[in-house]
Amino acid sequence: MDGWLLTAFFGLAVAQIALYQIPSKQALHGFWFLGFFYFFLFAFAQGVALFSRLFSLPFYEFPLFFLAVFVLFRRTGKPFPQFGKQVRLAPDFYLFSAIWMGVIWLSFILTVVWAVHEPLLHGRWQEIYVQSFFWSFFPALVLPVLAGIRDRLALLDPPKAFEGLPVFLIASAIFLLAILFFLSFINSSSGR
Amino acid sequence: MPPLLKDKTEKLFPKISSPHLFAAHSSSQIVWGFFAALIPIWIAGVVAYGFAAVWVFVLAVGFSCGAQYVFGKRTWIQLGGAAFMGGLLTLLLPAQIPWQGVALGSLISSLMGQVAFGGLGQNIFHPALVGYAALFLLAPDWFSNRASESLGTTSIFAVVFSSLFLLFKKWIAWRTPFFYLLALGVFSSFFGRSFISELFNGSIFLAAFFFMTDPVTAPVTSRGRAGFAIATAFLTAMLRFWAEPLPAALCSVFFLNGFVPLLDRWTQPKLKMAS
């Protein structure tokens, strides 16, 4: 994930943890939900990318195409009853996460997946799905990790000026630094 | 109570505030002991790079102590945390680094890594790694060529000697480095690399014995420590396979420091009710 996207994604995650103040145990409950949500979103976007490539369909024609498919093949009843049930059961916190993180995620997919559908066409499915698995479950882990950091900070005794939100922002900034430090090696190796 | 009996009782059971349990060494003695354990590694660095290594050490320790003196508390300096952190940062920096780099790294380590969290024993991320990562991202040219190898990786024998000293004094738990080195060997073989060449590396040993065993930033539970060691080994092996960076182990430790509170929460032993 590139610079500003990662920063925006991480900043929103920090804001959400700071605003909702949920404990890490509760945040862990949303891990599988969010992970699979991103994974299916990734797979869906890749499918769309492949479809557009195979049928030479430009991106701006997709809404029209989906409308036509809906009109022609619409069915009564709900298309994904199980997913609908999950959505109703999930607390607001995860729904909110899923929506705004999904929006950022989609922008990431639009920039990256469109570029990596070439190996998909050549049958390198494993490479694509290992990558999408990592990029789906790692962001899903960011919320519990930040909630864990917030839990630990509540036990510390920082200087008065840093108590509460400032020390949480500093800890989050250091964690972002750690992620960027880690990704700098991967980006440098892929650039070679 | 008669006065004589009262005196006797107070002598036997003196009324003092907690802590009532005492370890063989105070935390201050342990931190200064860790500082002393770094001396063989510095000597190896001085032998390899000469006066430049001494200059980096003086600057790093001086700026760390100075920052904690101005913005923190004097007791933090007496406890030895600032000097130890400066000493560890010295081992991560190359000898050819300009003095501004050392000063900036030390200030970031002290202020962002320690003072903001409340001093020694309060930080979540290892302070020396905070300064090192910030410098690495701000000025990658200082670390780019192989000639600018960090001072701590010049001699693996010095690192092993210092590690054995810490193990002999029982100031670090042997399980974390043991699991880490074992898992790293296994994962390296899995990635098709040589077991020996991957393992016997100064930076690997430095990370295993000095950064992963840090009592503040490592997990508390034994299962958590094992998980931390295995996860760090996997990331190290993956990074060394993928990008071959010199600080792969340090980068993995720093990244996983963020997961430690969650690991501690995840691996808390469950209390069993007596039936």
Contact B242 A186 (CB under 8 A): yes
Contact A156 B262 (CB under 8 A): no
Amino acid at A8: A
Instruction: Tell me how far apart the alpha carbons of residues B197 and B193 are, in angstroms, rounded to a whole number.
Output: 8
User: Any chain A CB within 8 A of the CB of B239?
Assistant: yes
Q: Is the pLDDT of residue A170 over 90?
A: yes
User: Any chain B CB within 8 A of the CB of A154?
Assistant: no
What pLDDT is recorded for position A191?
45
User: Any chain A CB within 8 A of the CB of B117?
Assistant: yes
Q: How far is B62 from chain A (nearest CA, A)?
A: 23
Contact B137 A152 (CB under 8 A): no
Q: Is the pLDDT of residue B240 over 60?
A: yes
Candidates B202, B183, B204, B185; CA nearest to B193 is: B185
ipTM > 0.90 (yes/no): no
Task: Determine the average pLDDT of the residues in B49-61.
Answer: 90
**Least reliable range by pLDDT among A3-7, A86-90, B15-19, B156-160:** A86-90
Task: Determine the average pLDDT of the residues in B33-39.
Answer: 89
Nearest CA in chain A to B251: A182
User: Any chain A CB within 8 A of the CB of B135?
Assistant: no
Instruction: Tell me how far apart the alpha carbons of residues B191 and B233 are, in angstroms, rounded to a whole number.
Output: 12
For residue range A63-116, list pLDDT tens digits in order.
Answer: 777 778 777 776 655 655 565 665 555 566 666 666 666 766 666 665 555 555
What pLDDT is recorded for position A192?
42
Selected residue of B110, B234, B255, B260 to mutate for chain A interface (largest A Cβ count, 10 A)? B255
Nearest CA in chain B to A189: B243
For residue range B176-198, list pLDDT tens digits in order.
Answer: 899 999 999 888 888 777 777 77
What pLDDT is recorded for position B109?
92
Q: What is the mean pLDDT of chain A?
A: 74
What pLDDT is recorded for position B233?
92
Contact A152 B251 (CB under 8 A): no
Q: Residue B124: which of A152, A162, A188 has the nearest Cβ?
A: A152
Task: Determine the average pLDDT of the residues in B253-264.
Answer: 91
SS3 B150: strand
User: Any chain B CB within 8 A of the CB of A134?
Assistant: no
Percent of chain A with pLDDT over 90: 9
Q: Is the pLDDT of residue B172 over 80?
A: yes
- Which is higher by pLDDT, A24 or A186? A24
Q: Which residues of B touch A157 (CB under 8 A)?
A: 118, 122
Number of C-beta neighbours around residue B162 at 10 A: 24
What pLDDT is recorded for position B195?
73
Which tokens in the block code for residue A36?
């699979």
Contact A157 B122 (CB under 8 A): yes
Q: Which residues of A touch B243 (CB under 8 A)?
A: 185-186, 188-189
Per-residue CA distances from B238 to B177, B186, B246, B247, B273 (Å)? 18, 12, 13, 13, 42
Radius of gyration in angstroms for the set of CA atoms belonging to chain A, rounded to a whole number: 19
Q: Which residues of B touch A160 (CB under 8 A)?
A: none
User: Any chain B CB within 8 A of the CB of A151?
Assistant: yes
Most confident of A12-26, B80-94, B144-158: B80-94
Contact A185 B239 (CB under 8 A): yes
Nearest CA in chain B to A186: B243
- Which is higher by pLDDT, A150 or B81? A150
Helix intervals (H) in B191-247 = 195-199, 202-206, 222-242
Q: How far is B256 from chain A (nearest CA, A)?
A: 9
Nearest CA in chain B to A173: B112
For residue range A107-144, list pLDDT tens digits in order.
Answer: 666 555 555 555 555 656 666 666 677 777 877 888 88
Task: Determine the average pLDDT of the residues in B104-119.
Answer: 90
For the entire predicted model, the pTM comes to: 0.81
- Which is higher by pLDDT, A80 or B216? B216
What pLDDT is recorded for position A11?
84
- Which is higher by pLDDT, B146 or B257? B257
Q: Residue B112: which of A28, A174, A179 has the nearest Cβ?
A: A174
User: Any chain B CB within 8 A of the CB of A91?
Assistant: no
Contact B266 A28 (CB under 8 A): yes
Which tokens in the block code for residue B192?
């098709």
Task: Determine the average pLDDT of the residues in B105-129.
Answer: 89
Q: Residue B94: beta bridge partners? A: B150
Nearest CA in chain B to A164: B117
Q: Is the pLDDT of residue B256 over 90?
A: yes
CA B22 to chain centre: 24
Contact B258 A152 (CB under 8 A): no
User: Any chain A CB within 8 A of the CB of B245?
Assistant: yes
Q: What is the mean pLDDT of chain B?
A: 84
Q: How far is B137 from chain A (nearest CA, A)?
A: 7
